[in-house]
Amino acid sequence: MEALHAEEDLQSQALIWNHMLAIVDTMVLKCALKLRLFDAIHSHSSTNNQISLTELATSLTIPPTRISTLHRILRYLAHMRLLNITDEETYTLTIAASVYLREGSEKSHAPVVRYLIEEDMLGAMHGLDSYLVEEGMALPIERVRGEKFFEWAERDEGLSKRFDDAMSCSTRSMIQAVVRGCGMVFSGVKVVVDVGGGTGNVGRAVVEAFPAVKCIVYDLPHVVKEGKEGERVVFQAGDMFVSVPPADAFLLSRVLHDWSDEKALEILMRCREAIVGEEGKLIIVDTMIDENDSKDMQHIKLAYDILMMTYVGGKERTEKQWRSLLLQAGFSRCAFTRIMALQHVIEARP
């Protein structure tokens, strides 16, 4: 019995230490991306893209006195399941790193990582305790920056670009998942307004997948001026809290989780007011917290919920919360479809 208690105690300690040291994963990943380490390994010309420690050090211009440090970083990346180490002490990329962390990969999530681990973004997380206990306190990001996130993005072109890069890097795979798992939501749609559509990454993907659809990308003036119009994609500037252009369908792709229930309700009501025709609809592609998700998927969604709360005052929602919000906005018929992505597709009609 004593041995059992000792084992339980050791496991409990390990659990706490793993949580405390999770920041090391983040910082080692930041280091690897800044050095373009994954691309260096991938582009190496040796057989099977293997690279030795000294070859990698040369490629990354690591001084000889830091080669042992590089070895320790690589060992940790292997523990993170991002690298494979062969018996000959050569290194290869795992599938996860090759597909999602190389700058040259069309599915790369590197822009998301860089955006999330900016110093001010990480700094905002230090304000969670104060935000929790101080009624009326501004959002943690506002305490760090002295302004709201979207005000910061409007003023800082660099941040605006990094934000757009982060959002666009996963758009292709997300839209592909929508097409494969729920493409019927665009059946019969002639014009869709991509509300809060940024520079048009989602809109272009939609019209490419659905040739009969025309898309109006609707966002703030400083955002749409960066967009590039194309066949069946046009841009229109405006404020989604005031009004949206009339259409038979509206798309809100990863928009509503940026906002509180009160603000999200305003957006939904503007869409409801602008629907044209008896078959008009609202298409939402957004995260839904689902108790049937795997433990890993639940962790990702709950972590995003904390990020949304910290940075923009938004939230991730359960199906019950989504239904309540949509009903308040005048959408009485809702269908939820799970797709092979973090998001669900919600088709809502008045």
List pLDDT tens digits, range 291-305. Answer: 899 999 999 999 999
Q: The CATH number of the domain where 70 resides is what?
A: 1.10.10.10
Question: How confident is the model over 250-293, as pLDDT tens digits?
Answer: 999 999 999 999 999 999 999 999 999 888 999 999 999 998 99
Looking at the structure, do residues 129 and 198 belong to the same domain, yes or no? no
Can you give the pLDDT at residue 201?
A: 86
Looking at the structure, do residues 36 and 134 belong to the same domain, yes or no? no
Confidence bin at 137 (pLDDT 50/70/90): confident
* Domain termination site, one of 60, 76, 102: 102
Question: Which are the catalytic amino acids?
Answer: 257
Q: What is the domain extent for residue 66?
A: 2-102
Can you give the pLDDT at residue 183?
A: 85
Dig out the tokens for 32 from the structure: 């690897």
Cα-flanking dihedrals φ and ψ of residue 348, to 5°? -125, 140
Residue 96 lies in a domain: yes
Looking at the structure, do residues 224 and 241 belong to the same domain, yes or no? yes
Looking at the structure, do residues 203 and 313 belong to the same domain, yes or no? yes
Looking at the structure, do residues 185 and 311 belong to the same domain, yes or no? yes
